[in-house]
Amino acid sequence: MQEIESMYRVLGISAEVYAFGKKNEQMLKDRFERIDETAEYNQMKVIHAMQKAKVSEACFNYASGYGYNDLGRDTLEEVYANTFHTESALVRPQITCGTHALALALGANLRPGDELFSPVGKPYDTLEEVIGIRKSKGSLAEYGITYRQVDLKEDGSFDYENIKKAINEKTKLVTIQRSKGYQTRPTLSVQRIGELISFIKEIKQDVICMVDNCYGEFVETLEPSDVGADLVVGSLIKNPGGGLAPIGGYLAGKTEYIENCAYRLTSPGLGKEVGASLGVMKDFYQGFFLAPTVTSQALKGAIFAANIYERLGYKVVPDGKESRHDIIQAVEFGCPEGVIGFCQGIQAAAPVDSYVTPEPWAMPGYDSDVIMAAGAFVQGSSIELSADGPIKPPYAVYFQGGLTWAHAKLGILMSLQKLVDAGVCTLPEER
């Protein structure tokens, strides 16, 4: 439709960039249909979980103070346990972010003298200070908890031989990061996670296998808890919040480990009994209800970005045809200008703070300057359209989110427009 193209022109997208994007979009129709099928399955799964837990209007009532008998909070945790097929769950606004949820799981289930082990290499940057890889107050290292890791092989496969050697009598908890973080390694599929857990459990049956599920929820029809994970952990301002949750995190898994987390979050002797929901329950429920569809929209944006930039000659991870296991798309530009221009394009496409120009800065928790673009309704929400990256080699940008496919599409086209205007990249000539 001519009207649609003219509206993109109003927003600053040139005819050439629009045509290049349109051509790529037309080649993805079958792929997008399969994503819609996964979203439909997951939507039914969430509805079934809500019906099974007997969600009612009373679940949306405001609760304050100690939060004793908070029906909405307790029922929501049942919904999460039903959806992830686990014994128990902890879903709270008092969990401030994904890093907090992971730190909670680790601190609650590890004791002095225990060892934490990562069989998938270095964890996400903000966890380095939690663990004590980089010195920080209150780290696990300060409490006498040691850390060991085995890197993935160059082809992204598991180094089973060295994993077996690394697991010892002190190994208490194995952390498996599903998504890539600020690395250009493959994201782990649920199937691969299950294979890794089975291998680890054969070596040491009683070890706790925890999966950092951030950015992966509802991308597939299965979750890591369906393939043997004892704990799955994530953030509500990513996939499961559906763009509506204003804060929060979740942990789902075996009752023993969830109870440990609850006592760590509040206080020994109190656990899950306290922690008022403070009026956020409707957003938590409705966001979770919308999460399968919202995740599918973000996934379409990631695949569109991969195909756009792959055809321009950049290395993209995953590539344009690979199966998807999270919503993140990495693009390697090889220069700071590429990362900066991309992020400035994403910001310019935002409904909030579109007039702001993001610049790299020394963000807490990172070992280099980082640039972040996120004109979001919820600050820092990475299920909304966002992009970020560290200003260091290989100068890769990480794009994720988009509450609607149309907005994700605009963001990618705007990122490309900024790079073309800056002379960082050139569109191929039409044949």
**Band of the pLDDT at 22, cuts 50, 70, 90?**
very high
Does the pLDDT of residue 429 top 60, yes or no? yes
Rg of the chain's alpha carbons, rounded to an integer? Answer: 21
**Band of the pLDDT at 1, cuts 50, 70, 90?**
low
Contact (Cβ atoms closer than 8 angstroms) between residue 87 and residue 101: no
Tens of pLDDT, residues 205-218: 999 999 999 999 99
Tens of pLDDT, residues 149-202: 999 999 999 999 999 999 999 999 999 999 987 777 889 999 999 999 999 999
Torsion angle (degrees, nearest 10) of CA 358, 363, 369, 375: -20
User: Between vectors from CA 394 to CA 391 and to CA 395, what angle results, nearest 5°?
Assistant: 35
Q: Which of 372, 377, 94, 88 is nearest to 242 (CA)?
A: 377
Tens of pLDDT, residues 394-422: 999 999 999 999 999 999 999 999 999 99
> What is the predicted pLDDT for the residue at 356?
95
Kindly report the CATH class assigned to 54-288: alpha beta
Q: Which of 163, 184, 224, 165 is nearest to 314 (CA)?
A: 184
Give first-to-last CA distance, the chain, whole Å.
Answer: 23
If you search the block for the tokens 């890769």, which residue do you land on? Answer: 396
**Band of the pLDDT at 283, cuts 50, 70, 90?**
very high
Per-domain boundaries in the chain: 2-42+292-421, 54-288
pTM assigned to the model: 0.95
Mean per-residue pLDDT, 354-373 = 88
DSSP 8-state assignment for residue 428: P
Q: In what order do the strands lie in the sheet with 370-373?
A: 315-317, 329-332, 396-400, 386-390, 370-373
Residue type, 76: L
**Band of the pLDDT at 430, cuts 50, 70, 90?**
low
**Band of the pLDDT at 362, cuts 50, 70, 90?**
confident
Mean per-residue pLDDT, 290-298 = 98
Output the CATH code of domain 2-42+292-421: 3.90.1150.60
Tens of pLDDT, residues 4-20: 999 999 999 999 999 99
> What is the predicted pLDDT for the residue at 310?
97
Tens of pLDDT, residues 218-274: 999 999 999 999 999 999 999 999 999 999 999 999 999 999 999 999 999 999 999
> What is the predicted pLDDT for the residue at 181?
78
Contact (Cβ atoms closer than 8 angstroms) between residue 225 and residue 86: yes
How far is it, in rounded angstroms, from Cα 337 to Cα 422?
9
Contact (Cβ atoms closer than 8 angstroms) between residue 288 and residue 241: yes
> What is the predicted pLDDT for the residue at 431?
52
Report residue 363 as tokens.
């963000």
